[in-house]
Amino acid sequence: MFIMKRFKQTLSLALAGVMMTAAPTAAFAASPEFARSAEEWAKLQDNKIEYDEIADLVHEYNATVQKNAIDLGKFRKDYGDTNEKWADRYRELADDLEASLSYPDVDDASYASIMTQIVTSEMQIDSWRKSADEAVDDYMTYYYNYASAEAMLTSNAQQQMIAYYVNQLQLELDQKNQELLNETIQSVQTQKSLGMATDVDVLTAEENLRNANKAILDDQNTIENNQEKLFVTLGWKHDGRPEVGTLPDPDVSRIAAMNPEADKAQAVENSYTMKINKRKLENAKSEDTKETLEKTIREDTQKIGAAVTSSYQNVLAAKATMDLRQAQSELQEKTMQTTERQYQLGMLGRLDYLNKKYAYDSAVIQAQTAKYNLLQAIQSYDWVLNGLANAS
CATH number, domain containing residue 170: 1.20.1600.10
- Whether 216 is covered by a domain: the verdict is yes
Q: Are residues 198 and 101 in the same domain?
A: no
Amino acid (one-letter) located at 385: L
Q: Are residues 240 and 374 in the same domain?
A: yes
- Long-range residue pairs from 347-355, CB within 8 A, at least 24 positions apart, any chain: 350/183, 351/183, 351/184, 351/187, 354/179, 354/180, 354/183, 355/180
- Whether 342 is covered by a domain: the verdict is yes
Q: Please, which pLDDT band fits residue 78 given cuts at 50, 70 and 90?
A: confident
Q: Are residues 210 and 351 in the same domain?
A: yes
- Whether 32 is covered by a domain: the verdict is no
Q: Are residues 364 and 294 in the same domain?
A: yes
Q: Are residues 94 and 195 in the same domain?
A: no
Q: Are residues 261 and 356 in the same domain?
A: yes
> How many other β-carbons are positioned within 10 Å of the β-carbon of residue 181?
21
Predicted confidence at residue 105, as pLDDT, reads 84
Q: Are residues 322 and 181 in the same domain?
A: yes
Integer Cα distance of 243 and 58 in angstroms: 17
User: Which is nearest to 69 in space by CA: 137, 122, 146?
Assistant: 146
Predicted confidence at residue 27, as pLDDT, reads 52
Q: Are residues 235 and 283 in the same domain?
A: yes
Q: Are residues 209 and 295 in the same domain?
A: yes
Q: Which domain holds residue 100?
A: 84-133
Helix (H/G/I), strand (E/B), else coil: 67: helix
225 has pLDDT over 50: yes
Q: Are residues 245 and 344 in the same domain?
A: yes
- Whether 274 is covered by a domain: the verdict is yes
243-244 and 48-49: which strand pairing? parallel
Q: Are the C-beta atoms of residues 118 and 99 closer than 8 Å to each other?
A: no
Task: State how many domains the chain has.
Answer: 2
Domain-ending residue, one of 133, 167, 200: 133
Q: What is the pLDDT of residues 308-366, one digit of tens each?
A: 999 999 999 999 999 999 999 999 999 999 999 999 999 999 999 999 999 999 999 99
